[in-house]
Amino acid sequence: MTSHRHPRAQFSSKFGLIAAAAGSAIGLGNIWKFPYITGVYGGAAFLFVYLGFILAIGLPVMLSELIIGRKSRRNAFGAFKKLAPGTPWMMIGSFGVAAAFLILSFYGVVAGWSIKYIIFSITNHFHNSTPGEIAQSFNTFIADPLSPLIYQVIFMVLTGAIVIIGVQKGIERYSKVLMPVLLVLIIILDIRAVTLKGAGEGLHFLFNPDFSKLSFEGVLSALGHAFFSLSLGMGTLITYGSYVNKNDNLINTALQVTVADTVIAILAGIAIFPAVFAFNIEPGQGVGLIFITLPNVFMQMPGGHIFSILFFVLLTIAALTSAISILEVVVAYFTEELKIKRQISTIFATALITLLGIICSLSLGIFSDIEIAKRNIFDFLDHISANILLPLGGMFIALFMGWAFGKYRVFREVAHGGKLKGWLLKIFMILVKFVAPLAIFIVFLQGLKILDFITTLFTGK
């Protein structure tokens, strides 16, 4: 091990951490993925299970990641190397780096779609189109062997460039102002959506649960999405926590980020589902849901043209602040563990991820025949990373917090001069020691149909 230490960057203010962590959490996960998987898994029941996971698992794991990051002041891999040297806990960091790679590959593709929709909005492409024609445009676009790649590459280059600029300048500046604007815009969309004729059915779909319809696969996806949406399970918040000041209140940060993330997802759902039913769109149709639904809503709004441009610009920026946090996991690992220069690490990681992303994108068109475990490559990478790697990472992070890090050190990290209530600490310890790991384990066994999965992987049946 080398002994030289480079001074580590720090967030400049308390608001810096909250803005950056919220910027990471709020992204395509809330606005694109949440409505689409809620549609696929049948609506309200999925939403309620998701909310349960956020509270019982997401929140404690988020606090754990921030604590681990701040205590160790290292990247996702180095953190465990420092806090528990010579133990297998370091594996968590490797899962994290792998998950970051896979997630960013398909994330960049969808963010590229969002850039394309800025252009569709500017040229007023959907003017006077029927819902059927709007769907057709989307499906033709994503299956094109070239066009989506251009936008994906643009997005990835932007992401890489911001990461090269560095932690403070790169991350803080962008997230502070724009997320509140996005929130306002979604609320305007909500108002339009719920006043559409036939909106009631959409609200019923989103809020009136029928648990008998929820499959175990749905429960697993709800769990995976709790991790995905909050940016947990792969060390994003360990990495961000490592840039945090000793005086920041980590409990408040975790609470605020979780609430903001969840509220935005639900508001996105309220913008989408009433419109889905009003325009007779199939809620379970998959990855295109928002791209097919929202243009219809914009067309029904005074000034919809401008709103549409603004919306997709902000969605792209929200995706960007999440993407930089994903790339940062890989880059921090390359620079601190492998001692590769920051610029080179970033360029190298971005290039590799973009290549994998190109394959993902093509798997929705010319490569759509290639299937791994009954999924196309895009869905497979999403499934492996969000539903398997992140919860697995989260399970070990919780176990580490509960059993290796321990109550005493947790208290010292978050107590801030004894303000922490004893019962809160107790609940937290019970959650990370038992509840979160057990719940994840059980959902895995049932939802993954683990044995089935291995058989299909090898037999293709």
222 Cβ contact partners less than 8 Å away, ≥ 6 residues apart: 41, 46, 49, 50, 53
Q: Is 24 in the site for ligand PHE (CB under 6 A)?
A: yes
Which of 316/363 has CB closer to ligand PHE?
A: 316
CB 337 within 8 A of CB 204: no
Q: Is 105 in the site for ligand PHE (CB under 6 A)?
A: no
Q: Is 431 in the site for ligand PHE (CB under 6 A)?
A: no
Estimate to the nearest angstrom the gap between the alpha carbon of 249 and the chain centroid. 23
Q: How far apart are CA 81 and CA 84, in angstroms?
A: 6
Q: Is 321 in the site for ligand PHE (CB under 6 A)?
A: no
Q: Is 236 in the site for ligand PHE (CB under 6 A)?
A: yes
Which of 234/278 has CB closer to ligand PHE?
A: 234
Taking CB under 6 A as the binding criterion, the range among 27-35, 174-182, 281-289, 453-461 that sits at the site for ligand PHE is 27-35
Q: Is 103 in the site for ligand PHE (CB under 6 A)?
A: yes
Which of 111/134 has CB closer to ligand PHE?
A: 111
Q: How far apart are CA 272 and CA 291, in angstroms?
A: 10
Which of 27/42 has CB closer to ligand PHE?
A: 27
CB 206 within 8 A of CB 269: yes
Binder of ligand PHE out of 11, 20, 30, 219 (CB under 6 A): 30
Identify which of 341, 327, 344 has the alpha carbon closest to the alpha carbon of residue 163: 327
CB 333 within 8 A of CB 75: yes
Identify which of 258, 209, 200, 252 has the alpha carbon closest to the alpha carbon of residue 229: 258
**DSSP labels, 193-216:** HHTSTTHHHHHHHHHS--GGG--H
Taking CB under 6 A as the binding criterion, the range among 230-238, 298-306, 308-316, 424-432 that sits at the site for ligand PHE is 230-238
* Residue 281 DSSP label: -
Q: Is 114 in the site for ligand PHE (CB under 6 A)?
A: no
Q: Is 322 in the site for ligand PHE (CB under 6 A)?
A: yes
Please report how close the Cβ of residue 31 comes to ligand PHE at its closest, in angstroms: 8
Pinpoint the alpha helices (H) of 208-301. Answer: 216-229, 236-241, 250-278, 289-299
Residue type for position 48: F
Which of 22/362 has CB closer to ligand PHE?
A: 22
Quick one: 234 exposed, middle or buried, by C-beta within 10 A (0-12, 13-18, 19+)? buried
Which of 30/316 has CB closer to ligand PHE?
A: 30
Taking CB under 6 A as the binding criterion, the range among 26-34, 58-66, 171-179, 297-305 that sits at the site for ligand PHE is 26-34
Token couple for 350: 């971005």
Q: How far apart are CA 205 and CA 42, in angstroms?
A: 8
Q: Is 28 in the site for ligand PHE (CB under 6 A)?
A: yes
Binder of ligand PHE out of 38, 152, 258, 325 (CB under 6 A): 325
Taking CB under 6 A as the binding criterion, the range among 11-19, 306-314, 318-326, 355-363 that sits at the site for ligand PHE is 318-326
Q: Is 346 in the site for ligand PHE (CB under 6 A)?
A: no
Q: How far apart are CA 90 and CA 447, in angstroms?
A: 27
Binder of ligand PHE out of 105, 121, 221, 231 (CB under 6 A): 231
Identify which of 57, 50, 34, 98 has the alpha carbon closest to the alpha carbon of residue 381: 98
Q: Is 96 in the site for ligand PHE (CB under 6 A)?
A: no
Please report how close the Cβ of residue 34 comes to ligand PHE at its closest, in angstroms: 8
Max CA distance (Å), the chain: 67
Which of 199/323 has CB closer to ligand PHE?
A: 323
Which of 28/297 has CB closer to ligand PHE?
A: 28
The closest residue (CB) to ligand PHE is 29
Counting residues that bind ligand PHE (by CB under 6 A) gives: 15
Rg over alpha carbons for the chain, rounded to the nearest Å, is 21
Please report how close the Cβ of residue 430 comes to ligand PHE at its closest, in angstroms: 26
Taking CB under 6 A as the binding criterion, the range among 40-48, 169-177, 320-328, 449-457 that sits at the site for ligand PHE is 320-328
Token couple for 300: 């029904």
Please, how many CA atoms are within 13 Å of residue 106, restricted to the half-sphere of its CB? Answer: 23
Taking CB under 6 A as the binding criterion, the range among 22-30, 112-120, 186-194, 337-345 that sits at the site for ligand PHE is 22-30
Q: How far apart are CA 245 and CA 328, in angstroms?
A: 19
Please report how close the Cβ of residue 38 comes to ligand PHE at its closest, in angstroms: 14
Indicate the SS3 state at residue 372.
strand
Please report how close the Cβ of residue 123 comes to ligand PHE at its closest, in angstroms: 27
Q: Is 27 in the site for ligand PHE (CB under 6 A)?
A: yes
Q: Is 25 in the site for ligand PHE (CB under 6 A)?
A: yes
CB 435 within 8 A of CB 56: yes
Token couple for 452: 């089935």
Residues near ligand PHE (CB under 6 A) = 24-25, 27-30, 103, 228-229, 231, 234, 236, 322, 325-326
